[in-house]
Amino acid sequence: MNTLTSFSAVAAPERARIVVLATGGTIAGSAATPTETSAYQAGALGIDTLLTAVPALDEVARIEAQQVASLDSKDMSPAFWTILAQRVNELLADDAIDGVVITHGTDTLEETAYLLHLTVKSRKPVVLTAAMRPASALSADGPLNLLNAVTLAANPAAVGQGVLVALNNQIHSAREAAKTSTYAVDAFQSPEFGILGWVQDGRVEFGRSVVRAHTTATEFVIGAAWPHVEIVTSYAGVSRALVDGLVAAGVRGIVVAGTGNGSIHASLQQALVDALKQGVAVVRSSRVGSGHVMRNGAALDDALGFVSAGSLNPYKARVLLMLALAAGGTGPVMLQRVFDQY
């Protein structure tokens, strides 16, 4: 008869230590009734209230929460990006911290996420999450999104993947995630390349990685003064007045949300050529929402000194142009190299 003469206890793996930075948004929103999902105050609830609503978080990670802001993310600013990126870098430099989750409004999440993707100097996971319905709503999506974001940040598979966005059980790269619906819970898509993977019932699976340089592999550091960069859109009958006004105001860079493959109405294009002669960087993106803007696709770039944004949407192209100009970048050749690399 076999008897058990000895055994060794196997220690349970220690749960990851994750810091949740709360910035506001609909995930912290509160409305008068559970059926109200349009009229509510974003950022009304503190992070402790959001964490208390998800007891399962305790099984996934040891969580420390910090309320960094209580913003409606329509009011996001580059000054706040600097504070947030510096906070994330400080936290991740601590050996005791395994990852960071950031709760954010959906409206400008794609800009903040890409900014962090280019300026966080760590391979540890950074995951942004949000919600389309306020915390007070029937079928609020925030609690599960928060649980999935922490689950992702605590998973070794997320190390070295750059900044990630976790919503609706999906994992997006910060480079590609974009809000594509005003109300649907599957609002976030990665239009040109698709999702990186998924999180469900505690499982994380990646199907691909981002190939463009990010985090520790970028030349960008946070902290330089932000240059004035704006976005203008091309459309039927657009005038040159906006560009002329921006040049008069001292703008350093303009991203054009062009039509189709980044084509630009003749009157706007002439204004941009004139702006370029005043030292303003001009980057062509598209208002379409998916696809690439091919360099020279409209036979513009070599001839006129413009830069193609490739597959970056206008809002992400603006973030990259701001960082490139803040780092001292000038001229279309150098700027095109940056847009081809990131």
For 208-257, give the DSSP string: ----S--GGGSS--TTSPPP-EEEEE--TT--SHHHHHHHHTT--EEEEE
Say if residues 171 and 196 touch (Cβ distance below 8 Å). yes
- Burial class of residue 111 in the structure, from the number of CB atoms within 10 Å of its CB (0-12 exposed, 13-18 middle, 19+ buried): buried
Instruction: Confirm or reject binding of residue 132 to ligand SIN (CB under 6 A).
Output: yes
- 221 phi and psi angles, rounded to 5 deg: -125, 150
Q: Cβ closer to ligand SIN: 68 or 280?
A: 68
Least distance between ligand SIN and beta carbon 185 (Å): 10
Token representation of residue 122: 């760590």
Write each residue from 279 to 318 as x if it is in contact with ligand SIN (CB under 6 A), else as -, in one continuous string: ----------------------------------------
Residue 126 or 132: the one with the smaller Cβ distance to ligand SIN is 132
Options 16, 19, 25, 40; binder of ligand SIN; rule CB under 6 A: 25
Identity at 177, one-letter amino acid code: A
Please, which of residues 217-236 interact with ligand SIN by CB under 6 A?
A: none
Closest C-alpha among 33, 21, 52, 65 to residue 134:
33
Distance of closest approach, residue 192 Cβ to ligand SIN, in angstroms = 23
| Closer by beta carbon to ligand SIN, 182 or else 330 | 182
Q: Tell me which stretch binds ligand SIN (CB under 6 A): 102-110, 112-120, 164-172, 215-223.
A: 102-110
According to the binding rule CB under 6 A, does residue 125 interact with ligand SIN? no
Asked if 42 interacts with ligand SIN (CB under 6 A), we say yes
> What's the token pair of residue 256?
């054009």
Nearest to 262 by CA among 324, 306, 229: 306
Instruction: Select the residue interacting with ligand SIN from 31, 92, 105, 295 (CB under 6 A).
Output: 105
The minimum distance between CB 137 and ligand SIN, in angstroms, equals 11
If DSSP codes are grouped into helix, strand and coil, which group holds residue 86? helix
Question: 189, 168 in Cβ contact below 8 A?
Answer: no
Q: Which residue is nearest to ligand SIN (CB)?
A: 105
Per CB under 6 A, which region of 33-41, 104-112, 229-237, 256-264 contacts ligand SIN? 104-112
Q: How far is CA 44 from CA 79, 107, 112, 135, 259, in A?
A: 22, 16, 20, 10, 38
142 interacts with ligand SIN by CB under 6 A: no
CB of 107 vs ligand SIN, minimal distance in Å:
3
Helix runs in the chain, H state only? 47-52, 57-60, 78-92, 109-119, 142-153, 241-248, 266-277, 301-304, 314-326, 332-341
Residue 273, token pair as written in the block: 């050529």
d(CA 172, CA 157): 14
Catalytic entry in 3, 5, 23, 26? 26
User: By the 8 A CB rule, do 155 and 63 touch?
Assistant: no
Nearer to ligand SIN, 22 or 251 (CB): 22
Give the binding range for ligand SIN (CB under 6 A) out of 20-28, 138-146, 267-275, 299-307: 20-28
Identify whether 26 is a catalytic site residue. yes
- Among 20, 61, 73, 284, the residue binding ligand SIN under the rule CB under 6 A is 73
Q: In the set 26, 148, 308, 313, which binds ligand SIN (CB under 6 A)?
A: 26
CA 215 – CA 118 distance, rounded (Å): 5
Q: 34 vs 207, which CB is nearer to ligand SIN?
A: 34
106 is a site residue for ligand SIN (CB under 6 A): yes
Active site residues: 26
- Interface residues with ligand SIN (CB under 6 A) are 24-26, 42, 72-74, 105-107, 130, 132
